Structures are given as structure tokens and as C-alpha cells.
Structure 1
């Protein structure tokens, strides 16, 4: 089950991410100065520190980098246990996401599909699923 997105706030900087997520599309940002692709949460380029960017729609694929089973939630509304994962999206950046597993063993490099999960009455959430 995906938790409600209480506490996730739309800001001026994150509004484009949520607008795309409402349409089921994962947004990334490409630096206008150097071309580096960064995650939607990055306010400036990690390579050259420029803030200007162009919106890029992610293809939805990625590979598992690391994961942890969370047994004690940092927020009271999160149901446990759940799997938090770092995923390297095919476009390059690493994202921290909720991982929905099929029960198969996980290993570094496992191919994943990233989806925007819509929870009625709240902001969309990013979830990775085993392919």
C-alpha cells in the first residue's frame, strides 16, 4: 500500500514536478549551461552550480543502487515496513523512492520501472516497481 502524501508540499520550485506527476510523467531537469541531467529535487546543477534548466521527461526506467527496509517510520502516517531505495534513472541522476517489490530477491542493478502513484486527495508519489 502506498502511504498518503501528507507533509509533501508543493512549492514554487517543485510545482512543475507535481504538474507533470499529475499527468503520470516523471520530470527531470537538464542544465542549460552544461547539459547535466539532474533530479526534480535539485535546485541547481551538481556539476556547474547553474540554476537554469530545461524540463526533461524521464523514460521511466532505472536500476537499483541501494535499498533498506524501514521498520520505524520517520513520520507517524507512514505504514511500516516499507522499502526505501536509491534508483539510478536511465537519464543519469539518482532518486530516493519507495520500492514496491514483487517478493523476488533484490540485488544491485535490478531493473526497475518508475511510476507516479496517485493517491486521491494528496500530491502524487514516485514509486519504483520491479520489472
Structure 2
């Protein structure tokens, strides 16, 4: 995927705090919980509840959010289509990490089991 610099900068400068309520709304509308959403975020990034609250409070950008994250070693197992692009073909590391998170939130909202979402099976 060729991501032009303007699009990349827009995503990089977007705050995690501005997107988190949308993720929460998406999963709760489908019967999932905020605790499950936080579990998914923790698995991918290593952010525990207290640290995630600080990220939201401090309005970290997605770029800072992922720079400070400890990406799970199995994150590369997150594959498939998101927003019309194959995740495994996205060249830019930041965009790929954002799409990893988008994909996990989608899977949670679609009712996949936590075991499958967290790539345990």
C-alpha cells in the first residue's frame, strides 16, 4: 500500500483519545464490554489500565502511542483486509500498527472469541 505523506501525517497526529470513544461505541453496540476492548488494546500494545488512562488523558497522538507501546510478538499474525487494504501488505510501520488495532476492534465487535482475537489458537 502506498500511503502518501499527507495521509500518514493525518493519522500520525490523530490523538488516541479522539478514537477510543469510537472504538468503545463500536464494541458496546455489538454487546461487548469496555473491559474486553481494554484487554485487546493491552494485548497489542502492553498498555495496562492505568497507563491507557494516562494515554487518553494526555491526548497522545497515534505516533506517540505506538512509539511508547510494546507491540505483542504475535502482532504479525494479524492479517486480512481492513479499510480495503491487506494489513500484511502495508509498508509503513505506523499505519500497519494502527490497522492492527482497527482489525482487533473489528474482530471484537463481530463477536470473535477472545482466544482467536488474541491469537492464542
Please report the TM-score for the alignment, with normalisation by the length of structure 2: 0.30
Tell me: higher relative CO, structure 1 or 2? Use CA pairs within 8 A at least 6 residues apart.
2
Going by fraction, where is helix more abundant, 1 or 2? 2
